[in-house]
Amino acid sequence: MELKNYLESRLQHLGCIRKIQPMKREASTRSFFRLHLDKYTLVAMVYPEENKEETERIARLTSLYNEYGLKVPGIKEIIDQRIILQNDLGKVLVQKALSWPRGEERKKILEKISRITIQLARIPLEHTAAVLDTARMKWEMDFFVTHFAGNYFHPQTDLEELRHILHAMVEKIGPVNTFAHRDFHTRNMLYYKNEIYLVDFQDSLRAPAFYDAVSFVFDAYMDLKTLRTLFIDSLKSNGLIMDEEQFYLTALQRNIKALGTFGYQVMVKKNLTYKKYINRTVGYVIENPLFDRFVKESNFRMK
C-alpha cells in the first residue's frame, strides 16, 4: 500500500490513473506495477529507494540494446532515480508462447531467439565493465555448495571436496570474451506482436562465449525437449561456431549456479516459487555429457 501511495503521488502528471495493479515479482528487490490510464497502460519498475546507479545503467543499456537492433521495453520517464516508467508489452512470456501447440510458430520463435543470441554476442565488450570471470564463477560455485549442496545433498557428502572439484571445473571454461545478457531465459523474454522483447538485462556483462546460449538451451523454467536440437542447429546456421566441450562446460557452471540461487531463495528467503525448478535443473546437470568427467555422481548425491 505504501508503494502504491508513493506512485499515486509521483505520477499525477500522467492524468487519471484508473488502476495501479501489482505485478508478480520473483527474486528481485524491485516491485512492478501495471498502470491503467484512460487510453493506454504503462509498467512502473520501482526500486525500494533512490538508486541512481541502477536507473542510469538501465537507461544506458536500453539505448545500447536498441542501437544493436535488440528489442527492449522503451523508457517513457525516470522519476526520483527510483521509478522507471516503461512501455507495456503485455503479459505473454516466451515461456508461454513456446508451449502453444503450433509447431511452425514455435520454430519461428526459436529462429528469432537464435538471431538475438548472435546479436548479443556481437555487441563490443567495451559497453560493459562487469565481468563473469573465473573468480566470480568460483564464488557462484561456493554459493551453490553453501545454499544448495549443504541443504539438499546427502549428509555424508564431502562439501570441501565438492568445492574443490567445482573450482577445477570452472578453470577449464574458456576466456571471458563475449557480451551477454546474463539471464537469458524464457521468463525474461516477452512475446509481443510477433516479436521477442528482452527484459531484466540490467546485469549484462562480459562472459564466456556460450553463456547466453546455454542459459536458454538449458532453461530452468522450461524444458525445450525436442526443440533443443532445433535451436542449437539454428544457432549454428546463424553463425555460432560451436565448441562442444566449452558449450557443455559452460552449461554445467550455469545450471549449478542456478541451483545455488534456488537453494538460497527456498531455504533462506523462504520463497517456495523456486522449489519446482530444482528437479529439472538437477536433471540438466546429471545429463550433461561432461558431468561424469568433471563432477561425478558420487559428489552429487541428493538426500
CATH number of domain containing 118: 3.90.1200.10
Please check whether residues 70 and 121 belong to one and the same domain: no
51 and 135: one domain? no
188/208 Cα distance (integer angstroms): 20
Closest CA to 271 of 279, 285, 261, 257: 261
Q: How far apart are the first and last CA of the chain?
A: 41
Same domain, 255 and 196: yes
- Give the up-direction half-sphere exposure of residue 176: CA atoms within 13 A in the CB hemisphere: 19
Looking at the fold, whether 157 and 63 belong to one and the same domain comes out as: no
Q: Could you identify the residue written with the cell 562446460?
A: 249
19 and 128 fall within a common domain: no
38 with 7, same domain: the answer is yes
Residues 98 and 54 occupy one common structural domain: no
pTM as predicted:
0.94
Please give the residue range of the domain that contains residue 289: 94-299
Same domain, yes or no: 106 and 139: yes
Shared domain for 108 and 178, answered yes or no, is yes
**Is residue 174 domain-shared with residue 38, that is, in the same domain?**
no
Residues in the chain: 303
- Burial (Cβ within 10 Å: 0-12, 13-18, ≥19) of residue 78: middle
Distance CA 46, CA 15 (A): 19
Question: Residue 13: which CATH number?
Answer: 3.30.200.20
Q: Do 167 and 278 belong together in one domain?
A: yes
Domain closes at, from 87, 109, 135: 87
Q: Which of 87, 108, 131 is the last residue of a domain?
A: 87
Instruction: Give SS3 for 31.
Output: strand
Which of 70, 87, 104 is a domain's end point? 87
Q: What is the pLDDT along the chain (303 residues), one digit of tens a residue?
A: 688 888 888 988 888 889 999 987 667 789 999 999 988 999 999 999 999 999 999 999 999 999 999 999 999 999 999 999 999 999 999 999 998 877 788 889 999 999 999 999 999 999 999 999 999 999 999 999 999 999 999 999 999 999 999 999 999 999 999 999 999 999 999 999 999 999 999 999 999 999 999 999 999 999 999 889 999 999 998 888 889 999 999 999 999 999 999 999 999 999 999 999 999 999 999 999 999 999 988 889 898
> How many structural domains is the chain composed of?
2
Residues 217 and 136 in one domain: yes
